[in-house]
Amino acid sequence: MTEPDTDDLHLGHPDAEQDPGLKGQVPFRFKCQRSGRCCTVGEGYVWLAEGEAEALAAALEMEPEAFFARYVRQVPDPTTGELRASLREQQGRCVLLEGSRDCTVYERRPDHCRSFPYWPSILNDSDAFERARAVCPGMAAVVSEERRAQAFEQLAVLYAELDAEVEALSPRCEMSGLCCRFEEAEHELYATGLETDYAAEIHPQASEPEAPGRCPYHVEGICTARRGRALGCRTYYCDVTTRDDLESLHETYLARVRALESSLGYPASYGLFPAMLAARGIGTGERPE
């Protein structure tokens, strides 16, 4: 869910050139991926400003009294101790969420929701930023060109070493493309923020994904981003005889990527590769400058 914050939440909806995230203690850009994670991960509060509960009730075609009784709780604000109205939650999920990502009142959602992640607490506190980014795949930290160049150079060397170790194992590739059709293979592709930035830099052009949640670089059964592909792509084969060795290699090199991030002070993050690519404008038809 969300962490508590002050009343001063609404910062508007920025365009590409006026993104408030760029003025944060950790500069970032944001593009909502409609993942629903901000509404389902952890516990917290969705504060309701005056009149918002009534608007939500109207959106659900309910009487305000019935809406209050079913969906609203009164809780002390952790920062002031003042009793405030907040939406209820069930095991860390907003009660107004349908399925895993569909808000039933999206067009009338509270200002607290609309202004995420441009909250003062996130903009002014690097730790709060990291907590929010761990939840939201649409937040992409902005890194200096010098640091990016250093990290990309070292990541390319690391990838080359990994590729050599994978080649030595001689895993069989059936060239079916199943590994990239995530919904059929029943798996998901995760990557670090550094890996995603590297792929986006080398392969800045991609069409919209062929199916929801797929990698935009997967086109008609072929990977169009072989040079910049992530660790998870490089170590995944259908060959069961090498699977344990490849999984071990993946964990070893993931630890090395994270060590690389730490040594250079590169903002560390980890999430679904397609969603993080989309946050960087890859496969969406628009890429942040």
pTM: 0.65
For residue range 88-133, what is the model confidence (pLDDT) as tens digits? 988 888 999 988 778 999 999 999 999 999 999 999 998 888 888 8
Per-residue pLDDT of the chain (289 residues; tens, 9 = 90+): 444 333 333 333 444 457 889 899 888 888 887 788 888 877 788 999 999 999 999 999 999 999 999 999 999 998 899 999 999 988 888 999 988 778 999 999 999 999 999 999 999 998 888 888 878 888 888 888 999 999 999 999 999 999 999 999 999 887 677 778 877 777 889 999 999 999 999 999 998 998 888 899 999 888 999 999 999 999 988 888 999 999 999 999 999 999 999 999 898 888 889 988 988 889 886 554 4
* Alpha-carbon gap, residue 88 to 1, rounded angstroms: 11
> 208: which residues sit within 8 A by CB, 6+ positions away?
216, 283, 284, 285
| Contact of 57 with 65, CB cutoff 8 Å | no
* Alpha-carbon gap, residue 123 to 126, rounded angstroms: 8
